[in-house]
Structure 1
Amino acid sequence: MIKQMSISETRRKITTLEHELSFDDTITITNHGKAVFALLSWDTYESIAETLEIISDEATYSALKKGIQQLSAGELIDFEDFKKELHVHH
């Protein structure tokens, strides 16, 4: 959920805001009604940063995209067969 809060209100509430944010919450901080900052939970920030890292690496993004296409097409490999293919004996 996106909430809106002025800079002055944010200043007053800064020490309690961490308790108001869940994973998918964002607080839009405004100055004279104009959005100037976004405040989000650390978990959300890390998720966004990891996503950006994945999609900015062309090889990783291509491999992920191919995997999703294979999954959608039902091109699955049994886990035990996969381990044998990798020579994993566990």
Structure 2
Amino acid sequence: MTDHWQEIQRPPRLEARFDFPDYGTLRAFLDEAAELSERTEIFADMSFDRYSVRLKVQAPDGENELTDAQRSYARDLERLALDQLAITG
């Protein structure tokens, strides 16, 4: 994966945190992430505060590893976050 994602083995998952300069930028990311999830039918666990979001992409229940689709989804989430940061930067 990329530098933004940490791969954890037990249970298998990817974790990342993205910091945004303001709530508006964070909200734009969350809206785009929701659209991505609807399209892919893959949903990350998300927790956020005013300026940051923590993401977890977990392996399917009962599976011992992430799918290629989940890894692609994680890369797409990262791209969305970095695109939002580039817009405000």
Judge same fold: TM > 0.5, yes or no: no
Q: Between Structure 1 and Structure 2, whose CA radius of gyration is higher?
A: 1
Q: TM-score, normalised by structure 1?
A: 0.27
**Structure with the larger RCO, 1 or 2 (CA within 8 Å, 6+ apart):** 2
